[in-house]
Structure formats: C-alpha cells, structure tokens
Structure 1
C-alpha cells in the first residue's frame, strides 16, 4: 500500500477533480445532444402524422385569431375567400439550394371577414436586381385554397427590409399592414389553389426530409470522452507508479515480462524496421 501513497497526494486529488469536472461537462453535452435529438424526432413525427392528413376547416384548429397548438403544425386546412393581392409582401433572405430568394406572402380574406397570411412559395432573386424578376399574381376572385399551418417567426434584431418587403414572417407586424382581423397564431404554407393561377406559381415548399441527424452518435461520443478522462488518469497513475518503483524486484520482473510479451508479438516487418533504424543511426 505504501507504494501507492503518492496517488493520495494533493496533486493527484487535483487531477481527479479535473477528471470529474471534465466528466460532468461531457455528461451535460451528451444530454444536450439527446435533447436536440428529441426535438428533431418530434419534428419528424409532426411531419409524418400531419403533412398528409385530411384537410379541415381553419376554425377547427384555430378557434381564435391568436391561438395555435404546436401539435397542429403542418396540418392542412381549407380556406375559402379571395386573395388581397395589393397587400402582398416579399420575405427577404430565403435561400434555397444555395440560391438567394424571397417568399411571396399574400393575405387571404376569408368569407367571414378574417384574414390569413398565405405563403405562396419561393421566388429566386433576379439576375440584375435585388428582387425577383417576376412576382406571379395569385388567382383572382373567389378561390378555395389548401394550406399547411406553420407558426409565425420571431423578429431578428438589426435585420431590415425595403418597401413591400419584410425581414421575417412576424405575424403581429403583418397585422399592422393588413386591413382586417388577421390570424396571428399561425400562417398557411400553400399546398393547392382552385382555380389554378393563370401564371406559374412560385416554387412550392418541399416536404421536410425525415433526418434526425447525428445527435445520438454525438451523445455517445461525449459519454466515451468522459470515461476516457478517468482511463487516462488511471494510466498516468500507473506510469508514475512504475517510475517510482523501477528498482523494486517485483516491478522489474513485471517490466521484463511485459517487454518479453511485446517482443513476442513483433512481426517480421517490425524487426526489419528496427534493423533499418539502427543502421541509419550508425551511419
């Protein structure tokens, strides 16, 4: 036991404290990755359960203008009324496939007088100006529209937009621009229009890919790192023990046995490398 007394010194207790703190940090990072994975899994479940569900009337999911249940994201709803084309806006900074662009938002006036923001899709930035080359008009007159519900977006500090544009789909801000009571709990991502528009509509939003990412593997890696911290500490203690007890007959015998086993495992290639190294030193 006296041979291991050095391991109970203040120095080694300090190393142990560092290993414990490192392990705690690794566990926290692992839990964070698991939480990220749970968020992704929930998003995938919403898309799987809701994206192709049967469309319902908007009032059954949004009983109040400012109500929205996150569990209803991507649920299809049917809107009947007409587009307010003169009050449409473009959302800036909407890249797609590495290309900059905009989303076209058009308020939709329902038959009961309330208004829903409809995102008709994506438009690429023009070749000669910071605007789409063409902003297609929505269908005129009475229209039946199917949309998928999405929650509004927060504002972004310091991000501005020009006339007829908006930085994010911040529904309270859009409510100040629209004449009429606006749904501020959610907006609609266009799925279908009847009758079809006379002009080609913007590029439709693609169904999200069911990919939870590498969060689980990252979580396991952080746990392994935390364990390796203690493994490395044990290795360092063992190495110092061998150095301090190099003259002890029992330890010297164990060292010779380890060297014998190491040499027994050498391959012909290892022996050739050692001979080449020795010859290069003697030159």
Structure 2
C-alpha cells in the first residue's frame, strides 16, 4: 500500500465506534443471558436431587432459590390467570396460573404450564382443572420477572380468566388476598391436569442460543472494523 495511506473520515470513524460499541454491548448482554440460563438450569438440577418439603400458607420463596415441594388442596378454576407474552418453540401463548386452596388453609398459585394462544386475542382458551382433592409435587420459586416491566395494573378488575403481565407479589395479593405466599409453584411435568411443562430443560432454558447470538454480534463488530480499515486507505495526494 505504498501509494495509499490511512485517511479515515471523521464521520466514518464516529459511526464505526458507535456501532461497534453497540454490537459489543449486545454481545456481552447475550453472554450474560446465557450464563443466567445456565445457572437457572443448574439450580433446577440441584433442586431435583433433594426431597420435597410440604407447602404451607406462610411459605416464602427466597430470591434465587429453587426448591422441591409438595402441595395438597383443591383447584379454584373460577379465578385463573394467563401470563401473557410467553412463547414455546417460537409459538406465542400463555402460562396458566391457577390458585390452589390448600387443605390446611391458605392459597398458592400453581403454574400448570404453557398453552398456545388463539389467533384471535379476544378468544381465550378453555382452562379446565382437575376436580376434587389433589396432591402433587413440583418446584417452588420466586415469581418470574421480565427484562423490562410494563406500566400495567394487574390488579384492575377484569373478567376471569384474567390476562396479566408479570404480576408482583403485591398485585397477586391484591387479587387473591393477603394470605397468598410469596412465590410460584411449578407443577411437575408428569402430573395430570397441566399443559406444556419443561422446568429446567427445553429450548427456552438453553444458554446455547444466547452464546450463538453473542458470537454473531462480536463477529459483526469485527467485520465492521475490518471494512472501516480497508475503506479508509485512500490514494496519496
């Protein structure tokens, strides 16, 4: 390149720096998401090795802790929730949250799994529940939290079943009463009366896709830098 010299344009330099910084930031974010998924899967695996404990009305889920637990009671099929914006294998749907009236008093929210959404958002799926006394095992954990919480009032009166957007413990207690424990019970996959359940497994919890996305963002940044350098060599004047 004896007849050419490196003379980048300032606007190109600024644009490259901004875009590269954004791509690297997105790559780092995807790496962190992958690590979070891997850690969550490890907590499910560790919990599966321990015996379940009996759930009581005063139970409280510790942040970051997943436990095996056992519940007994009767489902209340008249006051169910549908957690919105939940996908499974890229298909949109809901998670079905059903209150269980504990045999010794109190209430706990049971996640019975994922169900697909109808193409018509105004048409909700039927949500039958097992009748009579039920007893089953599952995982006990804190409520799921979104990456960005929308400004919605999950406690506002609405017909049942209600569609909600990641309700907090306070919002659930507003709906069901102050005796509600602070957590969510995930019904085991082999328990009848539920929907799609892949706790601790399945593509939605795999960190590999996040690592792949991170690699793509870092590759895009490298290609952009290469193009910037190559195009910045111009003939000497």
CA distance change for structure 1 residues 113 and 170 in 2, over 3 Å: closer, same or farther? same
CA distance change for structure 1 residues 192 and 78 in 2, over 3 Å: closer, same or farther? farther
2 CA distance for matches of 1:216 and 1:112?
Answer: 52
Question: Pick from 69, 74, 95: which aligns with 1:78?
Answer: 69
Deviations 1:168-204 (A, max 9, x none): 24133221121452233x31221157xx65xxx2322
2 CA distance for matches of 1:34 and 1:166?
Answer: 33
Report 1:1-283 matches (<5 A). Answer: 15-25=8-18, 26-51=20-45, 53-55=48-50, 56-57=52-53, 65=60, 68-70=62-64, 72=65, 75-86=66-77, 88-91=79-82, 92=84, 94=86, 96=88, 101-110=93-102, 113-124=105-116, 130-132=123-125, 134-141=126-133, 143-147=135-139, 149=141, 151-153=143-145, 156-157=150-151, 162-164=158-160, 165-171=162-168, 172-184=170-182, 186-191=183-188, 197=192, 201-206=193-198, 207-209=201-203, 210=206, 211=208, 212=210, 213-233=212-232, 235-236=233-234, 239=235, 241=236, 244=237
Q: Which runs of 5+ in 2 are unaligned?
A: none
Instruction: Tell me the number of residue pairs that the alignment of Structure 1 and Structure 2 aligns.
Output: 215
Q: Which runs of 5+ in 1 are unaligned?
A: 245-283
Please give the secondary structure, in 2, of the residue aligned with 1:106: strand
Q: CA RMSD in A?
A: 3.8
More strand by share: 2
**What TM-score results when the alignment is normalised by the length of structure 1?**
0.59
Larger radius of gyration: 1
Q: Would the aligned equivalents of 1:148 and 1:188 in 2 still touch at CA under 8 Å?
A: yes
CA distance change for structure 1 residues 228 and 143 in 2, over 3 Å: closer, same or farther? same
2 CA distance for matches of 1:32 and 1:93?
Answer: 22
Please give the secondary structure, in 2, of the residue aligned with 1:188: strand
More helix by share: 1
Please give the secondary structure, in 2, of the residue aligned with 1:205: coil
2 CA distance for matches of 1:219 and 1:145?
Answer: 43
1 CA distance for matches of 2:36 and 2:85?
Answer: 27
1 CA distance for matches of 2:62 and 2:91?
Answer: 32
Please give the secondary structure, in 2, of the residue aligned with 1:151: coil
Please give the secondary structure, in 1, of the residue aligned with 2:188: strand
